[in-house]
Structure 1
Amino acid sequence: MIQQLLTVEIEQHVEAMFQESGIQRPADLKILTEHPAHPEHGDYSSNIAMLLAKILRKSPLQIAGELQSRMEQNGLVQGLFRKSAAVAPGFLNFYINWDVWANGEYQAPIKRVTPSPKSKVLVEHTSINPNKAAHVGHLRNSCIGDSLSRMLAHAGYEVEVHNYIDDLGNQLADTVVGILHTQTEGSFPRFGDFCWETYAKVNQAYKAQPELVEQRSVVLHAIESGTSNLAWMGALVAERIVREQLDEMKQFGISYDVLVWESSIVRAGFWDTTFELLSKTEMFHKVTEGKLAGCWVLKNLDEGGETPADNQDFQGDKVLVRSNGILTYTAKDIAYHLWKFGLLQNDFVYKKWEDGLWSTAAQGSKKAIGHADMVINVIDYRQQYPQEMVKLALDVLGYEQQASQLKHVSYGVVSLSPDTAAGLGLDTTERKSSYAMSGRQGIGIKVADLLDRMEKVIDAKRSRKAGISSISIAAASIRYYLLKYQLQTEVIFDLEQATEVTGNTGVYLLYAYARANRILDKAKKDDRLQTVEVRFNGNLLEDQEYQLLRHIAYWPETLENATTQLAPSLICHYAFELASLFNHFYSACPVLKGSEESITHRLWITQTVKATLHEALELLGMPTPKRL
């Protein structure tokens, strides 16, 4: 990777300068290289000379010139750069030697790099309540988690993907209560759609019939005990919903290795073991007075165990066992994470759900699942505090290494634009910038409905139906729409905007990839090119070609940054710019016209674009079609 090679060499020369001067290097000094905005400033640039000026008591330009001289004498980073320049006020700019770059191993596709020997990563994502159809907010979670799993696997990690199923929660209980005590009429294409309406109806019924709320407790108790008619009904509802949700996710190329049911955690005795471990620490105790009397609470190290009296959510997250003996979600999550890291003697048994997918079960066989070195949880920002409590529990129990390897990929929720909200019948007279989806009110965009609508949009705009299906293009477009935003951004979902096929869209990327394929296919059929070697020629490089190659050269470090930062949006931004630059190149530089030398040169560029875009699309979970 060019940037890494460049940074390492600058580091070596800077270290030598400190040793020669007898001045101690500051511990916080970091050497960074960047991509200049303007090509005239080089393909890479460093401001290290300006950082060193006060320390070495020399002018920045003098230091930059000295570094330039040292690097030129050393072969200017293995010949990868044709020149460097020290410019005021002290930048050191580097210009790639494109012939060397093209003939080396620095262009895409990059090679996988195996991390440390301990390199198993457990990624948990999706985790939708099994009580109704999934909506577009759930899909954002799944798309993020799936792309992260692909990126980590590409980087050489062993990746195991889990989908946590909360089959003991209030939401499932509410749906069961709704089925038993409300009436939902109509024809529904799927059970999840029926449950969507039923869940909304029972929440309305709770307001009109407060006594009905007691039925929720009855159902909760039944499904937790797991032995009654109600328990079987809850299990059947959950299983049917999960099967439909998994089928929906398959449409988007999303899959899992393991389904972990919350009931399995309880019945496998994970909490009993965890309680025993926590009880040996000073940070876990039973409250004897006040509002939390009778509760078992995990103290917060940063606060000395004091709980703010005015923050009920904060209190609830710290309480692990309520005074009535009921476990909080956080308690079960702590036990689950101890298992994830292989820190419990208890274990699940598994049954086969379908090919390639295992599920925890009451009876089954042992499998080599879990025992991760790193755990990544994809959960929206509202779950930040519970995630911190899990990490705190690991620290309290002395598992500092595991706590440091627990990563919460937090992201902004999906809400509805005013136009989309109005289209769903919401009251938008308050003129808010966005409106929250609400399962309790039956308000939201279901995944299946969005996919169906997008497929119709795609189908209507396709002049030819060659290549992949309209539904595959639709799924890719929706996936890209949900991935292109930075993680912390709240996605204000607009139905019209989400179904666009021009501009920064998944469809635009697919067309660029298909175009590169079409050019290369035509070249294979061209009699003039049957015996000609496709090769790069730096002497023929025009501006559009240079801009394109410059961007391709940045792909390995872009991918590394995206993987390190767990940020799929970086790949989206990169892929869109690559597609845009390729289309500009295609318009300005006819690939299959001109001299043989020019044609083979541009075919090489087209091949390289295709390889790079192919890799990016696969990591984003999008198809790589030969034709559209």
Structure 2
Amino acid sequence: MALPAEIIQERLRAAVAEVCPEADLQTVQVRPCPDPKFGDYQAVAVMSLAKVRRVNPRQLASEVLARLNLQDLCSSVEVAGPGFINFRLRPEAVAAALAAAAEEPVPFVGRAAATRTVVVDFSSPNVAKPMHVGHIRSTILGDSLARALWRLGHRVITDNHLGDWGTQFGMLLLGWKRFLDPAALSRNAIAEMERLYKTVHAACQQDPALMEAARQELVALQGGDPENLAIWRQMTALSRAEFDRIYERLGVKFDFTLGESFYHPRLQALVDEFVRLGLARESEGAKVVFFDDLPDLKDTPLIIQKSDGAFNYATTDLATLAYRIETWHPDEILYVTDARQQLHFRQVFAAFRKWRPEAAHVKLVHVWFGSILGEDGKPFKTRSGDTVKLEDLLDEAEERALAVVTAKQPDLPEADRRRIARVVGIGAVKYADLLSNRQSDYVFSWDRMLSLTGNTAPYLQYAYARIASIFRKGGLTHEAARASVAHGFTLQTPEELALGRHLLDFGLVLQAVAEDYRPNYLCNYLYELAGRFTRFYETCPVLRAAEPERSHRLYLCEVTARVLQLGLDVLGVEVLEQM
């Protein structure tokens, strides 16, 4: 069954087409009204159409309304402000849409009208280095966007573009051969490789001969030396095993893990083609792409081969783009990295457009994000001033959550307390990261993110657990609650209606997340959903209500629990039946 917003949008587009036959109907969209006192849904496209036609927007909106029949769905349709169209649903229409959701595995989420293939590039740690707190934003944000796109029915391909090739391997290879501690490697491979790199890097600063030796190790690796390739493969395998362990803790999976090394054989041919096509030219011995035709990049040319013949991130990223388009035929490619790479991706995208104009239909997006700050407002560090390792952060999250669980439920078996602590602790870290506007820095606060009040994961997990407790106390199943609406379903109180209307917006919020690449929209929606449920539950008795109100309210509880669980799953956050 189509949702009310979908039906309203379809009829609105038909009415707009009658008044403005030339209009791009894809721009005519119905979205939740920012302020519920004005209505449930709102359309703003008529104002843009009026501007193009140079007519009064309120007059044009009135002409559209004259051709719009929504009496079966809406109690009111009004022109407001400079030309908004506001729609308020009839309670019966809300109830019918809620009842129809009983048969839907994913309620209130229609399939995207035009599904697309989206590649999401995220996380991308470096081999032989520990994942640190900076990786958490890319990993969690990328995973959430991939989940949202998948829930909307799109084909999603996730790729972890590992940093597994580059100048650092010369020093690592030299360190491995001269300073390796096999016992330390067995205990903690990443820590030992990090020690080797730091040892050799410091020594190279003092000894030019050692720096040259490291450079020769790199040349040998890139030339296919069997010994160096074998060591490099071992470094990569050990690193990936460590990364996979952390990803498992986070519940993050990738379809592909194609590192920089995968594209190395393509790089020289790529540079040669850029030169042959006149897209790059030599400058001070390097091969450089200039952007004389692009004012914002005119003063920032892009080097694709250094004067010593070495390639760089730009070369690899161009080859990666070409491979992804040739292999997966995407409509869109998302790169989830920090704000410092904005210029890099603007350059890479511009160079790629010059090189492969036939791929102009592929949307290239840099989904960038801000930094994590400590409570002192400075970059988040350990007390000693070191970068916070991601695994240490997750360990602390679980230990802090365990302390909270133990204080509240000391009689629970330890295994149960640790299971709850894992779900709560990891969920709290993820949610706090996704809650902020991704383009803003945010302050990392353990107390705030683990709180059972406010806009936090534990608060939403508790809301879900509270609904689960209603069904346990009543000895009821979710299936029985869904089956009950076959005999009719109504909304009687303002609190029931407010909760029901909010539930209908779940799919629209997911669409907004996917369109703007902002999971914080979903965080705020779920927080408001939990608040509306609380007001409903405090005002409307459920188990003590007489029939048919009891069944109707139990179904409202059931569908709220499903939306909470589905929404939190898009954010990568698990739920608990008991907390």
Task: Please tell me the TM-score bracket, short chain as reference.
Answer: 0.7 to 0.9
The partner residue of 2:155 within 144, 153, 158 is 158
**DSSP 3-state at the match of 1:164:** coil
Q: 1:201 to 1:510 in 2, by over 3 A?
A: farther
- CA offsets, 1:50-102, max 9 Å, x none? 77889687794x7666655543xx243xx221333456776543221232233
**DSSP 3-state at the match of 2:578:** coil
Aligned residues of 2:125 and 2:131 also touching (Cα < 8 A): yes
Aligned to 1:2: 4
Instruction: Judge which range, 320-329 or 223-232, deviates more.
Output: 223-232
Aligned residues of 2:271 and 2:305 also touching (Cα < 8 A): no
The partner residue of 1:191 within 177, 189, 192 is 189
Q: Which amino acid aligns with 1:165?
A: L
Q: Are 1:516 and 2:474 matched, yes or no?
A: no
Write the mapping of 1:241-320 to structure 2, written as runs, cut at 5 A: 241-266=239-264, 269-285=265-281, 287=282, 292-303=283-294, 308=299, 314-315=300-301, 318-320=302-304
CA shift for structure 1 position 509? 1.4
Aligned to 2:402: 459
Q: 1:57 to 1:504 in 2, by over 3 A?
A: closer
Aligned residues of 2:144 and 2:519 also touching (Cα < 8 A): yes
Aligned to 1:588: 539
Q: Are 1:392 and 2:388 matched, yes or no?
A: no
The whole-number CA distance in structure 2 between the counterparts of 1:210 and 1:2 is 71
CA shift for structure 1 position 129? 0.6
Instruction: Judge which range, 377-386 or 250-259, deviates more.
Output: 377-386
CA shift for structure 1 position 320? 0.9
Aligned residues of 1:177 and 1:215 also touching (Cα < 8 A): yes
Aligned residues of 1:184 and 1:197 also touching (Cα < 8 A): no
CA shift for structure 1 position 341? 0.8
The whole-number CA distance in structure 1 between the counterparts of 2:377 and 2:438 is 24
- CA offsets, 1:328-369, max 9 Å, x none? 221122112111111xxxxxxxxxxxxxxxxxxxxxxxxxx6
The partner residue of 2:393 within 430, 450, 455 is 450
The partner residue of 2:76 within 66, 73, 83 is 83
Q: 1:216 to 1:515 in 2, by over 3 A?
A: farther
The whole-number CA distance in structure 2 between the counterparts of 1:114 and 1:52 is 25
TM-score normalised to the size of structure 1? 0.78
Aligned to 2:427: 476
The partner residue of 2:222 within 221, 224, 240 is 224
The partner residue of 2:492 within 540, 549, 569 is 540
Aligned to 1:131: 128
The partner residue of 2:94 within 93, 98, 101 is 101
Q: Which amino acid aligns with 1:297?
A: V
Instruction: Judge which range, 586-595 or 138-147, deviates more.
Output: 586-595
The partner residue of 1:340 within 324, 330, 336 is 324
CA shift for structure 1 position 215? 4.4
The whole-number CA distance in structure 2 between the counterparts of 1:265 and 1:18 is 50
Aligned to 1:376: 334
Q: 1:541 to 1:10 in 2, by over 3 A?
A: same
**DSSP 3-state at the match of 1:444:** coil
The whole-number CA distance in structure 2 between the counterparts of 1:90 and 1:422 is 46
CA shift for structure 1 position 459? 1.4
CA shift for structure 1 position 521? 3.4
Q: 1:525 to 1:260 in 2, by over 3 A?
A: closer
Aligned to 2:520: 569
Aligned residues of 2:173 and 2:217 also touching (Cα < 8 A): yes
Q: 1:457 to 1:94 in 2, by over 3 A?
A: same
Q: 1:212 to 1:504 in 2, by over 3 A?
A: farther
Q: Are 1:405 and 2:357 matched, yes or no?
A: no
Q: Which amino acid aligns with 1:583?
A: T
- CA offsets, 1:555-574, max 9 Å, x none? 12111111122222221221
Q: Which amino acid aligns with 1:401?
A: A
The whole-number CA distance in structure 2 between the counterparts of 1:299 and 1:420 is 37
Aligned to 1:618: 569
Structure 1 spans left out of the alignment, 5+ residues: 20-24, 309-313, 343-368, 428-442
The whole-number CA distance in structure 1 between the counterparts of 2:222 and 2:490 is 69
TM-score normalised to the size of structure 2? 0.84
Aligned to 1:16: 18
Q: 1:178 to 1:99 in 2, by over 3 A?
A: farther
The partner residue of 2:455 within 496, 504, 528 is 504
Aligned residues of 2:19 and 2:63 also touching (Cα < 8 A): no
- CA offsets, 1:364-403, max 9 Å, x none? xxxxx64434322222222223323332233223434356
- CA offsets, 1:408-432, max 9 Å, x none? 22222334443887973457xxxxx
The whole-number CA distance in structure 1 between the counterparts of 2:316 and 2:360 is 17
The partner residue of 2:312 within 320, 328, 346 is 328
The whole-number CA distance in structure 2 between the counterparts of 1:132 and 1:149 is 25
CA shift for structure 1 position 250? 0.9
RMSD: 3.7
Structure 2 spans left out of the alignment, 5+ residues: none
CA shift for structure 1 position 147? 1.3
- CA offsets, 1:208-227, max 9 Å, x none? 55664444423432332342
Instruction: Judge which range, 49-58 or 158-167, deviates more.
Output: 49-58
Question: Which structure exhibits the higher relative contact order, with contacts defined as CA atoms closer than 8 Å and separated by 6 or more residues?
Answer: 2
Q: Which amino acid aligns with 1:10?
A: L
Aligned residues of 2:271 and 2:287 also touching (Cα < 8 A): no
- CA offsets, 1:460-480, max 9 Å, x none? 222146595422322222111
The partner residue of 1:414 within 372, 385, 390 is 372
Q: Are 1:142 and 2:126 matched, yes or no?
A: no
- CA offsets, 1:148-168, max 9 Å, x none? 111222222222211112222
The whole-number CA distance in structure 1 between the counterparts of 2:515 and 2:50 is 31
Aligned residues of 1:281 and 1:396 also touching (Cα < 8 A): no
Q: 1:397 to 1:36 in 2, by over 3 A?
A: closer
> What is the percent sequence identity of the aligned residues?
24
Aligned residues of 2:31 and 2:508 also touching (Cα < 8 A): no
Aligned to 2:530: 579
Q: Are 1:559 and 2:502 matched, yes or no?
A: no
